[in-house]
Each structure stands twice: as structure tokens, then as C-alpha cells.
Amino acid sequence: MTKRQNLLTIAEERLIGVPKPLEQLSKSELQRKQSIGKVMTHVLKYLTEEFVKDGFEWLLPVIFSKSTDPLWPDPEASIDKRVEIEIYGEIVRANLSMIVQKMVASSLIHPKLFTLSPNIRIEKAERANTGIHAYEFTQLDFEMSDATSDEVRSFVERVLVGLIRHLRDNVREDLTYLHRYNGLTVPKTPFKIYDRKELEKSYGKAWEKRLLKEIKHPVWITNIPREFYDFEDFESGTWDNYDLLLPKYGEALSGGRREWEYKKIVKKMERDKVKKENYRILLQLAKEGKLQPSAGAGLGVERLVAWIVGAKHIGETQPFPRVPGLVYDL
């Protein structure tokens, strides 16, 4: 056994419940994987069709860029390392999300857009056992020019309710096999909205863990301190943004209304110690008045499907699991 294989074996023994590589699955485990894959196919088909029907343009994803999501000062970010490589003498980064590209594209060419964006977030190894983290995952990223947060939330609710109805009608056999058909009920709209400040008053800083044990349906969390691009009211200290929490699985969608004014963006970057040189084009467009108001979100596909199928670990929704702290051959 090589040193690498030995380390992997030790890691696998330590991380009980972490998904096994595809080639190590038993016949019954492969059957479960197949059912999850069918659900994933229907989820992607339904979501993309709904976005196109609603007038969104479908963009191809960007993998490497000079400008990507800083994931700072978001307190929930747990990045162990940021992937950077040199291309043609320039340093580029693996995309943590396509937020910058979305803001630019919605301002200049596509007022309503979406993309299935691969996100590379090398999470700290201790997140392997949470069951809801992967170091590589896909977001259904979308942006709507001149939209309000209420409009985005209403749109998301309508799409998710339609998705659950579609799955109950079209993949009943697989949901039954996965023991999720009876438990996967169509949520009522509008989803309940919680203000983060009020949750902190009621539950303290660990409000999310407490709330996830109580909720039975998806809920919205608003007013979350986050990166420079989410809209912040300096006078009131409130943020016009939102997360969608799924029972037991946590945040599956994160989004907000966006900043577009040059002086305000610069002020927030300087306050948060974000390198302005990494966002040259965004700042240039804002300075020229070409960056337009918008709102949007990123929906984690794997985490959404994990909730739908009742996965024990998000890696179950991936043919080749991307578990923090582990690197398989495929």
C-alpha cells in the first residue's frame, strides 16, 4: 500500500458516513445512486426549462477568472485554500461563484440570465462530516436586472413549489425507493421570513442550528452581513439580502439586491479589506454608470437534491464525491 493509499484509508475510517467512491459501491448502493441520479436529472430539466420559459438567457459558465467572489467577510465561509494558476503570464483564480460575471452580464447584455456554474471552494477538512459541504459543487446562478428582493423570493418560491409537484408526479417510484415520497410535501407559499437580527436575539449566535431543528419547510433568512456586492443600507445598518434554508440541510440558496454605485462599492471594499485590483472591470463599469441595479441568487444544486432525496451526505448526489479532506482517484 502506498503512502497516499494509507492516508486515504485512515481518513475514510475516521470519517464515518462519508460516501464511498463509485467503484466501491455495492449493488444496492449503486441502485440508490441510480435513483438519486434520476431525481437529479428531473431537477435540472425542470429548473432550466422554467428559467428559459420565464425569459432568462442561459449562459455558459466561467471556470477561471481574475475576478471572483471574495467570500469575505462572510462569517460562514470556511476556505482552506484558494486555487490560483498562471495563464499566459497572468494569475487567475478558480471561480468561487460567478457573482461578478452575473452583475456585469445583466448590466450590459442579458437583463435576465442564469448559468449552471461549477464552484471550487476548498473547504477545511473538518467540514467532511457535516454532510452538507463539498469542495466542488454546482450552483444554478441567476440575476435579474432592476429586480427587488421580494420579486426574486417570489420567483424562487414558485419554481420550487412547481419542482416538488413535478417530482412527486414524475419520479414517484424513485422517491418511494429512497423513502422520501411521503416526506416530500409541497411547501405552502409564501415561505416564512426571519430577520437575522431577531433570530440572534432569540437564539444567540448559534441561531441557525436551533432553527434547523425546528423548521419543517423551507424558510427565508434576511439581513445578513456579507460581501461588498450585497446591498447595505448604511443609515439603518440593514442588508437587503436573503438565504433560503432547508430543514436539516441549511442554506441552499444565497442572494440579494446588488450594489451598483461606484463610491459605495469602493467604500465597502476598503472597509472589508477587499483588493480593488481584483475587480477592475466591475469598478470601471460602476464608475462610468454602466453597472445597473439587479438582484439574484445562487442555488446549490447538490444541496437542494440532497434535501429532496434525504441524502445522508451531499456527496451521495455526486457521481464522484467531492468531500472536504478527501481526494479520490476520479
d(CA 115, CA 134): 19
pLDDT of residue 2: 45
d(CA 190, CA 48): 22
Query: Could you please report the per-residue DSSP string of 166-219?
Result: HHHHHSHHHHHHTT-TTT-PPPPSSPEEEEHHHHHHHH-TTHHHHHHHH-SS-E
Give per-residue burial for 96-127: e unless 16+ CB within 10 Å, then b. Answer: bbbbbbbbbbbbeebbbbbbbbebbbbbebeb
For 193-246, the pLDDT digits (tens) are: 999 999 999 999 999 999 999 999 999 999 999 999 999 999 999 999 999 999
pLDDT of residue 236: 97
Handedness of CA 234, 236, 237, 239 (dihedral sign): negative
Q: Residue 89 in 3-state DSSP?
A: coil
Judge contact between 42 and 67, C-beta under 8 A.
Answer: no
Long-range contacts of residues 245-248, Cβ cutoff 8 Å, at least 24 apart: 245/208, 245/211, 245/212, 245/215, 245/218, 245/219, 245/220, 245/221, 246/218, 246/303, 246/304, 246/307, 247/212, 247/215, 247/216, 247/217, 247/218, 247/307, 248/212, 248/307
For 105-132, the pLDDT digits (tens) are: 999 999 999 999 999 999 999 999 999 9
Strands 57-59 and 112-120 come out as parallel
d(CA 135, CA 149): 28
Judge contact between 71 and 78, C-beta under 8 A.
Answer: no
Phi, psi of 258 (to 5 degrees): -105, 150
- Each of the 330 residues of the chain gets a pLDDT tens digit; together they read 443 344 344 344 344 479 999 999 999 999 999 999 999 999 999 999 999 999 999 999 999 999 999 998 877 778 889 999 999 999 999 999 999 999 999 999 999 999 999 999 999 999 999 999 999 999 999 999 999 999 999 999 999 999 999 999 999 999 999 999 999 999 999 999 999 999 999 999 999 999 999 999 999 999 999 999 999 999 999 999 999 999 999 999 999 999 999 999 999 999 999 999 999 999 999 999 999 999 999 999 999 999 999 999 999 999 999 999 999 999
d(CA 50, CA 121): 28
Is the full-model pTM beyond 0.75? yes
pLDDT of residue 271: 97
Of the candidates 259, 298, 297, 293, which has an alpha carbon nearest to the alpha carbon of residue 145?
293
pLDDT of residue 74: 76
pLDDT of residue 286: 98
Q: What is the largest CA-CA distance in the chain?
A: 62
**Identity of the residue numbered 101:** Q
Judge contact between 61 and 98, C-beta under 8 A.
Answer: yes
The secondary structure of residue 1, as a DSSP letter, is -
pLDDT of residue 148: 98
Superfamily of domain 3-317: Bira Bifunctional Protein; Domain 2 (3.30.930.10)
pLDDT of residue 3: 37
Give per-residue burial for 4-19: e unless 16+ CB within 10 Å, then b. Answer: eeeebeebbeebeebb
pLDDT of residue 1: 45
